[in-house]
């Protein structure tokens, strides 16, 4: 045995011992069933609020609901009083690896001088406060330096608290487009290639997808249209050819990855839909005919209303080019969202947290209902529908026996007061309690 393989063997033994110790602790905590009780329950199946909510949790899963059988004798009973038990929220659009503050210029400088390991520690904090906000699953649609991937793995392995994560790694897009770096001279910031998601031509775009999959992406994110927080592109132009979009989507599907398309512009969205995309993110300038086409093909809209709405987004703190684009998108967003409601486009909740602050995900429910969505529809958008879009319906997204015990509770009745979703009093993920229940 070489010295190197000896060290590796020792390392693997210590990793195995650590994991075994964690499993023992987890098994110990999980050995006692938990019964959750609250005045109300919203299971995200029927769309109605039920009274006298009771859920039995055994190990990491929901064992039974309501009056499905006698309660286990040795259970720990947690009575949450006048609250509503609900499935943990699912946010279909976050970036847990970073966060914009109130000052774009400071953020920009902080961003380029921070080391990836340093940034990952910020990410761990954002993951924790996202979970504490009641979000038990997220789809992370774009990050640099594999930080979101690292967070996903560390959370999965029980090293840090956070929501279950599906990650895209680098977002894919054209040179000079919304996925590319700002136009800082190449001697200061190196030009990005396919490994970082930047591609031109169908072959390169396939390669960019393959790189993200190679390094562990669960989902592919790409940029058919311009965006707000980039310096040199229009907000709604088309940034990839139809051939490039077809290559990205077909390649991702070949690897069994769903595809999320960042689209403010309508023409770009139409092209992405033609390519067979699974969701359109933002959608600020989408026309009614496009929203109707999405309904027909069961393509989700992830409206991210909180990204630019009342989330500390101060236009005067941005370069004029970005402020102008933000203003144009804000002006159209609510009109588009109301058209989507009218048409019946499938909607999954997403906040774009990172553009707005992390840990205020529930605010999106308030914005969606203020814009005309029915409260029960909004809650389903952030639970069962988002689970369907992410492809995790068999694991989570509704309170059904056999699914993971991803359960939260909010005070009172959220269908009457949607602001309660912003401050859950109880958060459980896979049977483990992170907020309340003491
Ligand atoms: Zn985003």
How close is the Cα of 104 to the center of ligand 1, in Å? 16
pLDDT at residue 311, rounded to an integer: 52
- What's the mean pLDDT when you consider all of the chain? 90
pTM as predicted: 0.92
For residue 65, report the distance from its CA to the centre of ligand 1, in Å.
Answer: 36
Residues 290 and 316 in one domain: yes
The share of the chain scoring above pLDDT 70, in percent, equals 91
Average pLDDT for residues 207-221, to the nearest whole number? 98
| pLDDT (mean) for 257-262 | 98
Same domain, 357 and 425: no
Residues 270 and 189 in one domain: yes
For residues 204 and 218, give the distance between their C-alpha atoms in angstroms, rounded to a whole number.
20
Please tell me the distance from the alpha carbon of residue 134 to that of residue 147, in angstroms, as a whole number: 22
Determine which helix (DSSP H) or strand (DSSP E) holds 65, and give its type and residue range.
Answer: strand 61-65
The answer on 241 and 100 residing in a single domain is: yes
Distant-in-sequence, close-in-space partners of 114: CB < 8 Å, separation ≥ 6: 122
**In the predicted structure, residue 25 carries a pLDDT above the cut 70:** no
pLDDT for residue 336 is more than 80: yes
Strands (E), 202-350: 219-222, 258-263, 279-282, 300-302
Distances (CA, A) of 272 to 239, 241, 260, 435: 11, 10, 9, 40
- Is there a contact between 301 and 340 (Cβ–Cβ < 8 Å)? yes
So what's the pLDDT on residue 67? Answer: 66
Q: Are 409 and 426 within 8 A, CB to CB? A: yes
Q: How many Å separate Cα 430 from the centre of its chain? A: 18
Tell me, in angstroms, the distance from the centre of ligand 1 to residue 352's CA: 5
**Is residue 396 over pLDDT 50?**
yes
In the predicted structure, residue 28 carries a pLDDT above the cut 60 = no
CA of 205 to the centre of ligand 1 (A): 20
Q: Give the separation between CA 71 and CA 56, rounded to whole angstroms.
A: 7
The lowest-confidence range among 191-200, 256-265, 306-315 is: 306-315
Could you read off the pLDDT of 91-128 as tens digits, one per residue?
999 999 999 887 888 888 888 889 999 999 999 999 99
- By the 10 Å C-beta count (0-12 exposed, 13-18 middle, 19+ buried), 216 is classed as middle
Give the pLDDT band of residue 13 (cuts 50, 70, 90). Answer: very low
Same-domain check for residues 215 and 323: yes
Q: 97 and 172, same structural domain? A: yes
Strand partners, 38: 53
- Per-residue pLDDT for 345 more than 60? yes
Let me know whether 80 and 226 are in one domain: no
Report pLDDT for 333: 92
Residue range(s) defining the domain that contains residue 42: 32-86+399-435
Ligand 1 mean position to 165 CA, how many Å? 15
Q: How far is the CA of 431 from the centre of ligand 1 (A)?
A: 30
If you measure from the C-alpha of residue 373 to the centroid of ligand 1, how many angstroms do you get, rounded to a whole number?
22
**Section 68-94 average pLDDT:** 93
Ligand 1 centre distance from Cα of residue 345 (Å): 20
Hey, what are 154's tokens? 């560390």
* Nearest-angstrom CA–CA distance, 56 and 405: 9
175, burial (CB in 10 Å: exposed 0-12, middle 13-18, buried 19+): middle
Read off φ and ψ for residue 52, nearest 5 degrees.
50, 65
pLDDT of residue 68: 64
Q: In the prediction, which pLDDT does 60 show?
A: 95
For residue 141, the CA-to-ligand 1 centroid distance in Å is: 6
Specify burial of residue 186 (Cβ count, 10 A radius: 0-12, 13-18, 19+).
exposed
Confidence check: pLDDT of 278 > 80: yes
> Are both 222 and 241 inside the same structural domain?
yes
CATH number of the domain that 249 lies in? 3.20.20.140
Q: List Cβ neighbours of 14 (8 Å cut-off, separation of 6 or more).
A: none
Compute, in angstroms, the gap from residue 324 CA to the centroid of ligand 1.
18
Q: What is the DSSP string of 87-150?
A: EPEEEEEE-TT----S-HHHHHHHHHHS-HHHHHHHHHHHHHHHHHTTEEEEEE---STTHHHH
Whether residue 291 is found in the same domain as residue 207: yes
Mean pLDDT of 364-384: 97
CA of 106 to the centre of ligand 1 (A): 20
CATH number of the domain enclosing 61: 2.30.40.10
Going by C-beta distance under 8 Å and a sequence separation of 6 or more, which residues neighbour residue 380? 44, 47
Residue 80 shares a structural domain with residue 94: no
Output the CA 148–ligand 1 centroid distance in Å.
13
Q: Verify that 324 and 186 share a domain, yes or no.
A: yes
pLDDT at 1: 34
Question: What is the Å distance from ligand 1's center to 173 Cα?
Answer: 13
Instruction: Specify the number of domains making up the chain.
Output: 3
Residues 427, 329, single domain; the answer is: no
Q: How far is the CA of 176 from the centre of ligand 1 (A)?
A: 17
> Residue 23: what pLDDT?
39
Q: What pLDDT is stored for residue 15 in this prediction?
A: 36
The pLDDT confidence band at residue 54, using thresholds 50, 70 and 90, is very high
Reference 160, options 120, 207, 203, 198; nearest CA is: 120
Provide the pLDDT for residue 137: 98
């Amino acid at each position: 045995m070489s010295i190197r393989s000896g060290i590796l063997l020792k390392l693997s033994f210590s990793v195995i011992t650590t994991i075994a110790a964690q499993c023992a602790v987890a098994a110990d905590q999980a050995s006692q069933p938990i019964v959750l009780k609250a005045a109300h329950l919203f299971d995200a199946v029927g769309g109605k609020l039920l009274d006298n909510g009771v859920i039995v949790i055994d190990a990491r899963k929901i064992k039974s609901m309501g009056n499905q059988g006698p309660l286990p004798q040795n259970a720990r009973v947690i009575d949450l009083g006048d609250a509503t038990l609900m499935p943990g929220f699912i946010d279909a659009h976050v970036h847990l690896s970073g966060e914009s503050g109130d000052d774009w210029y400071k953020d920009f400088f902080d961003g380029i001088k921070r080391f990836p390991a340093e940034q990952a520690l910020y990410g761990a904090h954002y993951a924790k406060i996202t979970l504490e906000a009641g979000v038990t699953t997220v789809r992370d649609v774009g990050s640099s330096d594999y930080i979101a991937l690292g967070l996903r793995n560390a959370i999965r392995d029980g090293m840090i608290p956070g929501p279950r994560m599906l990650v895209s790694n680098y977002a894919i897009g054209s040179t000079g487009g919304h996925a590319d770096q700002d136009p800082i001279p190449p001697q200061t910031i190196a030009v990005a290639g396919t490994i970082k998601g930047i591609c031109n031509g169908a072959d390169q775009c396939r390669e960019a997808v393959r790189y993200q999959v190679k390094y562990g992406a669960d989902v592919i994110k790409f940029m058919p249209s311009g965006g707000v927080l980039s310096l040199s592109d229009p907000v709604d132009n088309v940034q990839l050819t139809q051939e490039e979009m077809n290559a990205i989507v077909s390649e991702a599907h070949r690897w069994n990855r769903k595809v999320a398309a960042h689209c403010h512009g309508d023409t770009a969205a139409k092209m992405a839909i033609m390519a067979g995309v699974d969701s359109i993110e933002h959608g600020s300038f989408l026309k009614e005919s496009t929203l109707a086409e999405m309904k027909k093909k069961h393509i989700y809209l992830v409206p991210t209303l909180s990204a630019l709405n009342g989330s500390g987004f101060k236009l005067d703190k941005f370069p004029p080019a970005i402020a102008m684009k933000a203003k144009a998108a804000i002006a159209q967003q609510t009109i588009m969202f109301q058209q989507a409601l009218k048409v019946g486009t499938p909607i999954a909740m997403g906040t774009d947290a990172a553009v707005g602050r992390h840990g205020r995900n529930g605010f999106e429910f308030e914005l969606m209902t203020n814009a005309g969505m029915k409260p029960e529809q909004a809650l389903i958008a952030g639970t069962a529908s988002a689970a369907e879009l992410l492809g995790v319906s068999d694991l989570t997204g509704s309170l059904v026996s056999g699914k993971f015990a991803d359960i939260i509770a909010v005070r009172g009745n959220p269908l009457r007061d949607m602001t309660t979703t912003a401050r859950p009093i109880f958060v459980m993920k896979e049977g483990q309690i992170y907020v309340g229940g003491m």
